[in-house]
Amino acid sequence: LSTVQMPSGIPVATVAVDGAKNAALLCIQMLAITDSTLARRLQDDREEQTQSARQKDQDVSAQFPQ
């Protein structure tokens, strides 16, 4: 909650407690603004995450048909 009291001009980004992976991804996203290679790798990672989530959804749906 202390981040809501930061003075003007002090940018703050927050991630969950124990959220090191999300903090790293936030940093990479900021760096990717000026680094096209990093931007592509980040996009590829997000696509892999999407595919993984879809596969898991299909697996669960197959186990528990409606």
- Measured between alpha carbons, how far is 55 from 62 in angstroms, rounded to an integer? 10
Q: Residue 26: how many CA atoms within 13 Å on its side-chain side?
A: 10
**Confidence band (pLDDT; 50, 70, 90) for 1?**
low
Given a contact cutoff of 8 angstroms between Cβ atoms, the answer to whether 22 and 15 are in contact is yes
The 10s digit of each residue's pLDDT in 11-59 is 888 888 889 999 999 999 999 999 999 999 999 999 999 999 999 999 9
Whole-structure pTM value:
0.75
Domain boundaries, given as residue ranges, for the chain: 2-51
